[in-house]
Amino acid sequence: MRPEPAALQACLLFRGKSAEEIELLLPTLAYTVSTYRKNAIILAEGDPADRLGILLSGRVEVQKTHSTGSSVTIAHLKEGQTIGEAVLFRRDNVAPATVTATGPCKVMFIGKQELLRIFAADTDILTRFIENLSERLVLVNRKIENLSAGPLRRRIIDFLLEQGTQQASDTLKLPFSRKEWAGHLNTARPSLSRELGFLRDQGWIDFKGSEITLLDRSRMNDYLLSLPSSAGNL
């Protein structure tokens, strides 16, 4: 199965390349493309991580399972994002988390040795790969900060204000479902719904479906500033 050049243009590795350039590059690459149904496991924790995955369509969820059996959502990935790049070149390159399809999706895989060959032939792709690693590190750091930011209410407000900045709007489109958001915050969905209801009652936000409107950013920021840095969980 051959990937569409337009789908690869969404991937950071091929940023700056035209569809025509990608069209010429594809016949020179060794790769495979796999399709997955909803809830299918793409990569299980502990599996060998010896190839890079590029999400051509759909979305996936990355989860880490604790020894207690509970799990926490680390990331949600969409079209153009990559799977497995963080551990691909580790000496012990096994998957540290499980990657699951949240809906029908298609993934392109490139083996480690082939990737090294591509890097040697095209330093632009190597540069993009390093940029991709850097961006993923920033996202992981943000996730750690969010999970350790104290009360659930604070974590929710942090996230909403960050999305407001990223989307440059007071009307936000959530990048995932309410259930996925709860997993992202490492909390139960009823707890998330309760806190959103509180924020709405305070007149700070309003929401309908996957759309949330920030009504009073100033009071939300004031709330964050009023909390001590060592605040505990609700």
- Find, among 175, 150, 159, 146, the residue nearest to 220 by Cα: 159
Residue linked to tokens 């796999």? 34
pLDDT tens-digit map of 11-40: 989 988 999 999 999 999 999 999 999 999
The confidence score (pLDDT) of residue 70 equals 67
Which residues contact residue 100 at a Cβ distance below 8 angstroms, ignoring those fewer than 6 apart?
39, 40, 41, 42, 60, 61, 63
Amino acid at 81: Q
pLDDT reading at 234 higher than 50? no
Q: Are 153 and 204 in contact (CB under 8 A)?
A: no
